């Protein structure tokens, strides 16, 4: 079975500071990992996805994530936070043995302080 844990339900950073959102996964087979962003009153939008081609994945809006198998982690980072980054972020995992099932973390709310 697969699962995802997002540490920190709320993260606050100053504008211009590093953003680090944590995601740890559990999977019995090689996972496919995703980060989604949800702005207020909108649906979830794909930020980036890991598909085993490269461990460092670049996404939209300057975000990137690094897959670390030894740590079972897929943390999301951005070097410099912008006010427009304030949103809810979700990590998700799927795998070949789960058919069409996605497992989402509980989300991390990012606040950017001016």
Convert residues 44-73 into a mask of x (bound to another protein by CB under 8 A) and - (unbound).
xxx--x-x----------------------
Tell me whether residue 14 or residue 52 sits nearer to another protein (CB atom): 52
- The secondary structure of 2-13 as a DSSP string is -EEE-S-SEEEE
Piece in contact with another protein (CB under 8 A), picked from 16-24, 64-72, 75-83, 88-96: 88-96
Q: 21 and 11 in contact (C-beta within 8 Å)?
A: yes
Q: 19 and 106 in contact (C-beta within 8 Å)?
A: no
Phi, psi of 30 (to 5 degrees): -55, 125
Piece in contact with another protein (CB under 8 A), picked from 15-23, 30-38, 57-65, 72-80: 30-38
């Amino acid at each position: 079975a697969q699962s995802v844990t997002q540490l920190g339900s709320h993260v606050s950073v100053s504008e211009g500071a590093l953003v680090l959102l944590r995601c740890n996964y559990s999977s019995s087979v090689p996972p496919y990992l995703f980060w989604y962003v949800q702005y207020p009153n909108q649906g979830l939008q794909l930020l980036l996805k890991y598909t085993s081609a490269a461990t460092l994945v670049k996404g939209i809006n300057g975000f990137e994530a690094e897959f670390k198998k030894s740590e079972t982690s897929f943390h999301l980072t951005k070097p410099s936070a912008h006010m427009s980054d304030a949103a809810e972020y979700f990590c998700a995992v799927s795998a070949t043995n789960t058919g069409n099932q996605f497992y989402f973390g509980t989300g991390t709310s990012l606040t950017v302080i001016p």
